[in-house]
Structure 1
């Protein structure tokens, strides 16, 4: 083996070692899951790319997949948080559901983005975990979002009144235990079925041993280029993965 080959081998070994060291020392290990069995949002690629970039910026590891076979006890044990990136429909079988539940029950976190509430309608545990089921939405519009809780990492940076443009979800089967972060002001746009004064658009709660953050925002591709929305997402990820809240 000549000197050039030896140097190349050494460089590859060092690269692998540094990569392994970086992954071992990352502060959060996130699984981004974006499988759809219903409507598929065209913003999913932008969302996945934005989450990868957040990982690079904030020094956490991001693994992405649309393969629900990844949901086993062994695989999920590697992660601190599962991020449901606009999933839709029935995406898990019974064994995968059991692994997901065990993950949450072990004290770990879940983040739901936009149509994560348009997922698993026949699974009551999921409904209570994610916080609600999708009901309807009007055409895309601009509205006033009222930030009702500015003491959460997902909303620390947001103003009390946040002007936003998106596809605005309405919900059913809302878990009464969710803690609302952002409310939609229905007087500032034309809703589909109308929920009234209590129209949550982002929330969090502890559920079955784990932590959950959900935001209904993120239908449009441009959302994933918006600095405030990206901070909103990262704050939710940090909470779900680490459980850190101000005292």
Structure 2
């Protein structure tokens, strides 16, 4: 009886281990990085949990860290996408920067979420890669989002006019090569530092051999429980990993 119980325990451990391995593997691997050296968003735990759940539901592996020492050539080679989840400030040293650049140059993907644009202000390559730097934001408000391009996996499901509540970023040092997906209609809310008719809120581009998707949304915790927003994030991750767009 004891032998049978020991065997069942051993078998259960194997099954649990195999299931965990399957969840971590999948069709591609994502490293979620949420280190902050400035303001820290309260929604980071919700964001991490939501991306992990997206991986479980959609067959890709999700690994989570706030340790920049994980940014080495050897370790980053394990992943297909790095998700910069509301990072802030200067978060990499020179060696880590070099490894991140090699990762992108090797044809891999990057997803920036919300304050990923409030990061690495003294690194010009990063500015061009992520697409812009944060400038300011007003109080949290509801506004009309103009979905300019619905041919991208992150926007396939969105209406042309999307009503959304969030902390709404304004930008500087915008890379002119980005392809804007979503624009903020400033006539529908009160901006802090107006950008005018061209106010991008989500974009993508190919950069230095890799693929980059960025969304300024995701400040509020409630966003990470919203299936429409989560599909937006999922589509961005999928694009960064696979690079597949309709022809």
Number of the residue aligned with 2:143? 143
Number of the residue aligned with 2:9? 8
Number of the residue aligned with 2:79? 79
Matches within 5 A, 1:150-169: 150-169=150-169
**Unmatched 5+ stretches in structure 1:** none
Length-normalised TM-score, structure 2: 0.96
CA 1:19–1:143: 2 relative to 1, 3 Å: closer
Structure 1 residue 20 displacement after superposition: 3.5
Off by >6 Å, runs of 4+ in structure 1: none
Length-normalised TM-score, structure 1: 0.96
> SS of the residue aligned with 2:175?
coil
Structure 1 residue 95 displacement after superposition: 0.7
Structure 1 residue 2 displacement after superposition: 3.4
For 1:73-126, what per-residue CA distance to the aligned partner results, in whole angstroms no more than 9, with x for missing partners? 111111110001000000000111111011101100000000000000000000
The separation in 2 between residues aligned to 1:215 and 1:8, in whole angstroms, is: 45
How many residue pairs get matched?
246
> SS of the residue aligned with 1:39?
coil
RMSD of aligned C-alpha atoms?
A: 1.3
Residue pair 2:36, 2:87 contacting (<8 A) in 1 also = yes
Structure 1 residue 15 displacement after superposition: 3.8
> SS of the residue aligned with 1:8?
helix
The separation in 2 between residues aligned to 1:21 and 1:141, in whole angstroms, is: 41
Structure 1 residue 22 displacement after superposition: 5.2
CA 1:6–1:51: 2 relative to 1, 3 Å: same
The separation in 2 between residues aligned to 1:117 and 1:65, in whole angstroms, is: 19
The separation in 1 between residues aligned to 2:3 and 2:219, in whole angstroms, is: 56
The separation in 2 between residues aligned to 1:119 and 1:78, in whole angstroms, is: 24
For 1:214-237, what per-residue CA distance to the aligned partner results, in whole angstroms no more than 9, with x for missing partners? 000011111111111101000000
